A and B are shown apart, each in its own frame.
Chain A
Amino acid sequence: MENIAVVGVGQTKIERNKLGDTFADMVYEATKKALDDAGMTMDDIDNVITTSNDFWDGRTISTMAVNDACGGGLAKNMSAVEGDGTFSAFYGMARILSGVYDTTLVVSHVKGSESENVLITNAIFDPLYMRPIGLDSINSSALQMRRYMTKYGITEEQCAKVSVKNHKNALKNPYAQIAMDISVDDVLNSRVISDPLKLYDCSPVSDAAAAVILAGGDKAKKAKKPVWVKGVSYTADAYFLGDRDLADASALDKAALEAYEMAGIEDPLNEIDVAEVYDAFSYMELMWYEGLGFCPPGGGGKLIDKGITEMDGDLPVNPSGGLLSGHPVTPGGMIRLIEAVLQVRGDAGEHQVDGVKTALAHGINGACGQSHCVWIVGR
C-alpha cells in the first residue's frame, strides 16, 4: 500500500430530524469540522467528492446542491459517488493514487427524515420482478435474517444481544441518536416489524453528514495526526436476491481477504483491535463477523455469546453504538471509518478502546449487503 492517510475527520450529531439544517448546512458543519481537525483550510484541498443518494435528496445529481457547502464553489474539481461513504472514500483514495491530487475531501450526507424510506428502498430493486412484490430494505433484510437463522441455527436472542450491546455503547457517544440500556427481553418483546425483525433489531431513520480528508505523499507525512490506510478493498455480489444464498456474504469474504492481505493481517480476530461494522439490523453484525473472518461461517452467534465483541472483549465491535444507534444512510459507513480513525488516534472519548493500533471499518451498498467495503487503518 502506498502511503495514504486519513488526516482529518468530521461528523454532525446524528438525529431523527434535523429540522433546523438543510443538506448544505449539515455538509458545511461536517466539512468545517474535518478541516479544523486536519488543521487545514479549503486552500489545502485539491479536490472534493460528495456522496449522497438522489432519491433521498429528492433531486437529480444531488451533489450539485451541496457544492458551495463543501468548497466546490471555490473552483475545485468536484466529483460524486452515489452510495455509502466507505466507497466514496475509496474513490477519493484512488484519485490521490492517480498522482494528480495530494489531498481529497470526501463528504457525505442524508436526511432520512424528509421522505418515505420504504418507498425509496423499494426503488433499489429491479422494476420488473422484485419491486412489484413490495420489497424494501426492511422486509428484504427480514428474508435474509430468517435464511441466516435457518442455515446456521442462529437465534433471535443472539441477534438481540447485538442490539443490547450497541445501544449501550452509544450511551458514551455524544454523536449517537439512540442510546439506551435495554435487555435481551426488551428486544425480543419489542413490536414485530417484519418477522423475525423486531423494532429494536432495526436501525432508526436518521439525518447526518460526515467528512474525511485523505492525503498522500508529503501532505500525509506533514499531517498533524495521520492515520494510515493499511489495506482496503470492495467487492459486489449478485443483484437478484434469489441468485445469492442470503445467509452468506461472499462479497464480504473476498473484500476482507483482499484488505487483510494488503495490510498483512493473517489472524483478524487477534490482530485487529477494534471494528466498526455496518449493523443496519442486529443480525447483520453477526453475519459480518463471519464475512470478516472473526469466526467461521455460522459462528457469529457464539462470538456474541462469549462476549468477545463487547467493549471489554478481545475485539470490541461498534463501540460507537453503530448504526443501530443512528443510521444516516450514505454517511453510515463513512462514520464507521471516522470512528476507526478516532480509535487509532486515541480520540474516541468515553467510548475509546485501550491501546488501539489497528482498526477496521466496514460499509455496505445495496440490498442485503450486496456490496461490501473494508478498510484497515492504523498507526
Chain B
Amino acid sequence: MTQKAGDQELIVYKSRIKVPYTWSVGEVGSRFLTEIKENQKIWGTRCPVCDAVFVPPKKTCTYCFVPIHEWTEVKDEGVLQTYTIARYKTDLIPQDSPQIIGIILLDGADTGLVHLIGEAPPEKIKVGMRVKAVFNKDRKGHILDIKHFKPI
C-alpha cells in the first residue's frame, strides 16, 4: 500500500544495522561458565558482609558495595519464583513459541536466575514448583549450556 501526503508519495527506506561485538565475560563469569561447561555444576559468590549468594556470580555485592572473593557451589535445582509464557515469535526466541521464561531461586542462592522452562506443558507450570537444570550434551561455556529447567 502506498501512502501519500497530499500529492506526494511517501518513500520508506528499508535497511538494517549489523555490528559484531566481543564481550569479555571476565574472570568471575568465566569461572562460572567453565564450571557449567566442564562439570555441570553451578557456582555462586558470597558477599562477606550480607552473606548473599549471587548466581550468576558477581565480583562486587549489589547491596553492600564491597568486593567478593568467596565461591560457593549451589544446587542445580530450586524453586520457580515467577514465570511467563510468551506466545509470540521473534528472531531471538531460541525455541518454538510458546516460550516459557522463569526466575528460579536455586537452593543455596539468594538471587534469582532468569532462564527457560522446558519439558512441561504450559498449563502445568506453577509458581513455587521445584525445577532442575537440564544441561546440554554439547557445551560451549554459555548460559544456554543449561538447556532449560524442568519440573521435578
Interface residues of A (CB under 8 A from B): 19-20, 58, 116, 118-119, 122, 127-130, 132-136, 138-139, 142-147, 150, 192-197, 238, 240-243, 246
Contacts of A116 in B (CB 8 A): 90-91
Q: Is the CB of B5 within 8 A of A194?
A: no
- Please name 6 further chain A to chain B contacts, defined as beta carbons within 8 Å, in addition to the given A118-B88, A139-B101, sorted by A numbering: A118-B90, A150-B127, A194-B87, A195-B86, A241-B112, A241-B114
Which of B12, B21, B87, B113 is close to A193, meaning CB atoms less than 8 Å apart? B87
Q: Does B49 contact A (CB under 8 A)?
A: no
Contacts of B54 in A (CB 8 A): 243
Q: Is the CB of B143 within 8 A of A19?
A: no
Can you offer 30 A-B residue contacts whose CB atoms are under 8 A? A58-B17, A118-B88, A118-B90, A127-B23, A128-B143, A133-B116, A134-B116, A135-B101, A136-B90, A136-B92, A139-B84, A142-B84, A143-B83, A143-B102, A193-B86, A193-B87, A193-B88, A194-B86, A194-B88, A195-B84, A195-B87, A240-B62, A241-B103, A241-B114, A242-B55, A242-B103, A242-B112, A242-B113, A242-B114, A246-B103
Q: Number of contacts between A and B (CB, 8 Å)?
A: 113
Give complex CA distance A143, B143 in Å: 19
Please give me the residue from chain B that is nearest to A118 by CB atom. B90
Question: A132-B144, A242-B103 in contact; A19/B82 too (CB < 8 A)?
Answer: no
Contacts of A145 in B (CB 8 A): 84
Interface residues of B (CB under 8 A from A): 3, 5, 10, 12, 15, 17, 21, 23, 25, 29, 54-56, 62, 81-88, 90-94, 99, 101-103, 111-116, 122, 127, 142-144
Contacts of B88 in A (CB 8 A): 118, 138, 193-194
Contacts of B94 in A (CB 8 A): 132, 134
Give complex CA distance A80, B150 in Å: 45
Give complex CA distance A238, B55 in Å: 14
Please give me the residue from chain A that is nearest to B84 by CB atom. A142
Question: A116-B90, A128-B29 in contact; A135/B85 too (CB < 8 A)?
Answer: no
Give complex CA distance A130, B114 in Å: 7
Please give me the residue from chain B that is nearest to A142 by CB atom. B84
Contacts of B29 in A (CB 8 A): 128
Question: A129-B56, A134-B94, A195-B84 in contact; A243/B111 too (CB < 8 A)?
Answer: yes
Which of A122, A129, A193, A238 is packed against the most chain B CB atoms within 10 Å? A129
Contacts of A58 in B (CB 8 A): 15, 17
Give complex CA distance A99, B147 in Å: 56
Q: Is the CB of A143 within 8 A of B101?
A: yes
Contacts of B101 in A (CB 8 A): 133-135, 139, 143
Q: Is the CB of B115 within 8 A of A133?
A: yes
Q: Which 3 A-B pairs have the closest CB atoms?
A: A242-B112, A142-B84, A147-B82
Contacts of A138 in B (CB 8 A): 86, 88
Q: Is the CB of B90 within 8 A of A129?
A: no
Q: Is the CB of B84 within 8 A of A146?
A: yes
Contacts of A193 in B (CB 8 A): 86-88
Give complex CA distance A138, B103 in Å: 15
Please give me the residue from chain B that is nearest to A55 by CB atom. B17
Give complex CA distance A129, B93 in Å: 14
Question: A134-B86, A246-B82 in contact; A127/B21 too (CB < 8 A)?
Answer: yes
